Amino acid sequence: KTMLMPGDQVHRLELTNVGASFPSRRIISPLKHLVQDANFFATPSSAWSTQTFQSSVGPARTYLQMMRSGPREVLHFNPREPEAAAAIVTCGGVCPGLNSVIREVVKTLHMYGVSRVFGIVGGFKGCVEEEQWVHLTDERVQDIHQQGGTILVTDRGNPPHAEMAKVLAKRKVRQYFVLGGTGTHRG
């Protein structure tokens, strides 16, 4: 029996390839030597679809198919670029598991070879305040998953985007992780 009912459609959402704007360095992933499973890395054809709970009655539906996220065998940028950094900020409402996410992002970035990982204390407001940037090491985040809240302290403030972008560029932030609950992307 088919999963799709008459009139149902699957629409594949396409992503813009960063290679269209920047030449790829075609870096072999630092994770390659750590993993033996051939299915560990996502491929361009790896995809998932929105979950279907079908009923034989009702209007036709459109289901979305998206590229699978996850590690790639060949990277576009070099994560070990000496001056490059990553930054993590928590904004908006507090939600369960923020410290666990911070911990895993830091540990994964270090596995990739990113040498400078910053935590920004106080939400987007902290981004523009020099003293609010702290180095996040494996040791510093080792046990934070056992604490509630967020070690980075969340805030709903929102300085001008141009000001934040200038600070991120000055710090050579190549990866910016914005985490939180309700209102996260509003600040």
> Domain coordinates of the chain in residue numbers?
1-76, 85-186
Q: Within a 10 A sphere around the Cβ of 92, how many other Cβ atoms?
A: 20
Q: Assign a CATH topology to domain 85-186.
A: Rossmann fold (3.40.50)
The 116-120 sheet, strands edge to edge: 133-135, 116-120, 85-91, 173-180
Q: How far apart are CA 72 and CA 99, in angstroms?
A: 25
Q: Where would I find the H helices in the chain? A: 98-112, 123-127, 138-141, 161-170
Q: How far apart are CA 22 and CA 6, in angstroms?
A: 42
Token readout for 120 is: 């920004």
Instruction: Name the phi and psi angles at 152, rounded to 5.
Output: -90, -5
Per-residue model confidence as pLDDT tens for the chain (187 residues): 567 778 888 888 888 878 888 888 899 999 998 888 878 898 888 887 776 666 667 788 888 888 888 899 999 989 999 999 999 999 988 889 999 999 999 999 999 999 999 999 999 999 999 999 999 999 999 999 999 999 999 888 889 999 999 999 999 999 999 999 887 877 6
| pLDDT of 187 | 61
